[in-house]
Chains A and B, each alone.
Chain A
């Protein structure tokens, strides 16, 4: 989004569609920065949990969208940097609340080192998930693999993927639903989601599906 006078004025006024556009433009970038901070370990290691990361992201945007904070943004500085300044404060407050000493700056660009122990375990789990997903993909038929590639590899919206494949969006949605359901079953069968299984729980299976 371009920070022209009109957008800046509407942002400061709290116009919802402008706030939504700002959120959509910066949410992924902020999440990446928080994830990077998590990899540095120490007091930010709690951000390795998706829920903790999402909570921090929510709190950051909630503060960024408060009237006083909106008024403080000048439209000149990169908004991403402005947002990260707020995120840093949120993290430091969280740190204080956890009664832990602050020893790291969360958003340094250099010198990010994956720690041993829990950090290494997370890295290994990521690799495990990637290998499982790749294994699942190998078992798809040609059409499914193409859909998988378009939707998840290239990140195309359903409409575009449907157009590329000569399908309707509803057909794409149904096929994608089937693929995701089978993927969950696949992961479960290989133990990744083993701890979730419970008798009588139709978590990953739907009626009529094998």
Chain B
């Protein structure tokens, strides 16, 4: 079999196994593997390893990614069906079938789930709000918001760019971003002591991760407040850069213990 020269596909395969691939990357990888025997074999073999690890026919990570693909497909169908009779889609439909549906990789996190349920209500209130400024920079559409989600799944607080979010031990912090186009995103806080490793919220490791364009897209996982990492005010920065690393936008907000 001819070896595949598509480096991106190989990186995507590794990211898939590590649980770091987003829905967009997953769709891209599957489209490539459908026509590339080498990568399809790798895809199958990695699936076999994951299945063996988890004792599942459908590894959890792939189940979550397929869910994103399924809802993207349903959304496209729904949009196509409604197009001839409705020039402007209803706001509810716009919000429900945005890429956030595909961002439910961490749906096992109950708190994350709660935000997924809550988000449509908050975003559907004012459809004209889409693509308006959500960052600290006037006129910029790039931005991130943070939510504090309690153990009972209820949202306890929200911080817009420049704002402060108080969250207590046992709660979880969930971020959502708005990006007018695909970009690379990191969200991290300077270490409380001023030295040491930054506290990374997204991605879990490595360089900035690709995110798809979208409005108020929840990140695939939340971060539990436990172990004392939130013992003082943290200056959190969400940075968007392009593929070459050029800055596109930045949001700052503050996390404090409650």
A-side contacts of B54, CB under 8 Å: 152, 155
Question: Does A40 touch B at the CB level, under 8 Å?
Answer: no
- Closest Cβ of chain A to B204, distance in Å, is 5
Contact status of A133 and B49, CB under 8 A, knowing A58-B70, A196-B38: yes
A-side contacts of B10, CB under 8 Å: 196, 198, 201, 203
Q: Tell whether, in the assembled complex, residue A129 and residue B204 are in contact, meaning their CB atoms are under 8 Å apart.
A: no
Q: Tell whether, in the assembled complex, residue B224 and residue A51 are in contact, meaning their CB atoms are under 8 Å apart.
A: no
Contact status of A27 and B204, CB under 8 A, knowing A126-B52, A159-B224, A168-B227: no
Q: Which residues from 214 to 236 on chain B have a C-beta closer than 8 Å to any C-beta of chain A?
A: 223-224, 226-227, 229
Question: Does A62 touch B at the CB level, under 8 Å?
Answer: yes
A-side contacts of B43, CB under 8 Å: 50-51
Q: Which of B103-111, B127-135, B139-147, B239-247 contacts A (4 or more CB under 8 A)?
A: B103-111
Q: Tell whether, in the assembled complex, residue A180 and residue B18 are in contact, meaning their CB atoms are under 8 Å apart.
A: yes
Interface string of B101-124 (1 = CB under 8 A from A): 100100111000000110010000
Question: Does B253 touch A at the CB level, under 8 Å?
Answer: no
- Cα distance A144–B101 when bound, in Å? 33
Question: Does A192 touch B at the CB level, under 8 Å?
Answer: yes
Q: Which residues from 145 to 190 on chain A have a C-beta closer than 8 Å to any C-beta of chain B?
A: 152, 155, 157, 159, 162-163, 167-170, 173-174, 177, 180-181, 183-184, 187
Give the 10 A-B CB pairs with smallest separation, nearest first: A50-B47, A31-B58, A31-B57, A168-B227, A32-B57, A152-B53, A50-B44, A35-B57, A157-B108, A16-B96
10 residue pairs A–B, Cβ–Cβ below 8 Å: A31-B58, A58-B66, A58-B73, A133-B52, A167-B227, A170-B200, A181-B18, A183-B49, A184-B14, A196-B10
Chain A residues engaging chain B, CB cutoff 8 angstroms: 14, 16-17, 19-20, 23-24, 27-28, 31-32, 34-35, 49-51, 53-54, 57-58, 61-62, 65-66, 125-126, 129-130, 133, 152, 155, 157, 159, 162-163, 167-170, 173-174, 177, 180-181, 183-184, 187, 192-193, 195-196, 198, 201, 203-204, 206
